[in-house]
Amino acid sequence: DSGVTQTPKHLITATGQRVTLRCSPRSGDLSVYWYQQSLDQGLQFLIQYYNGEERAKGNILERFSAQQFPDLHSELNLSSLELGDSALYFCASSFQQGSGTDTQYFGPGTRLTVL
Amino acid sequence: AQSVTQPDIHITVSEGASLELRCNYSYGATPYLFWYVQSPGQGLQLLLKYFSGDTLVQGIKGFEAEFKRSQSSFNLRKPSVHWSDAAEYFCAVVPYSGTYKYIFGTGTRLKVLA
């Protein structure tokens, strides 16, 4: 158990809908990272927040957005869902703002299925 | 282009046999290097990491990895595989400079024969 929690575990929805994925980092960690894992794209970094502020952006679509709240939990919002958004979404956390030596600890993931 | 390559998509070994999973990267400088394991239905668990110093790194579950600068490689090894090692293994790189996001390889799925 990494100490990172993600809810829900599974999510099934229809195209065009909007969903919110939630992540609680390990106690004391200030950074939260979101990743998407799909069969065709592999594991891709989406976005990072550090202490409430966006720190780095990866291959995140404009239909996706995220935020980190004062209690440091984070939410990833996915809107106008398409079939291709079906994937496993991981959250990771680390103590620092993302120095190269800062190990990221991963949650169990949320599996999103878009029908 | 900067990339991380895991050339073996699938590997099958017998229980008790040795294992080596390959990882190559292409970056200008030595990046930070990680190996993660993902068991079925689970998240990613850190096996080991290399930042600097001794090029042979020991990790959890009996795994080790060796950094070879001349080959831009960071191969994962285990002398004797157990059935519980069946999982998917990801090599990850954090470029020495930049935004410090992880760049993952495509993964190697390990199957262990009894």
Return the pLDDT at A74: 98
Return the pLDDT at B10: 96
Q: Report the residue of chain A nearest B39, measured CA to CA.
A: A108
* pLDDT tens figures, A98-109: 666 778 899 999
Confidence grade of residue A1 (pLDDT, cut at 50, 70, 90): confident
Q: Best interface-test mutation with B: which of A5, A57, A106, A111 has the largest number of B CBs within 10 A?
A: A106
List CB contacts (< 8 A) between B43 and chain A. Answer: 2, 4, 90, 106-109
Confidence grade of residue B82 (pLDDT, cut at 50, 70, 90): very high
Nearest to B50 by CA among B70, B22, B69, B27: B69
* pLDDT tens figures, A66-77: 999 999 999 999
Residue B64 has pLDDT above 80, yes or no: yes
B interface with A, Cβ–Cβ below 8 Å: 31-32, 34, 36, 42-46, 49, 51, 90, 94-96, 99-107
Quick check: B100 and A99 CB within 8 A?
yes
Average pLDDT for residues B60-65, to the nearest whole number? 96
| Residue A1 touches chain B, beta carbons under 8 Å | no
Q: Report the residue of chain B nearest A43, measured CA to CA.
A: B104
Closest Cα of chain B to A72: distance in Å? 19
List CB contacts (< 8 A) between B103 and chain A. Answer: 45
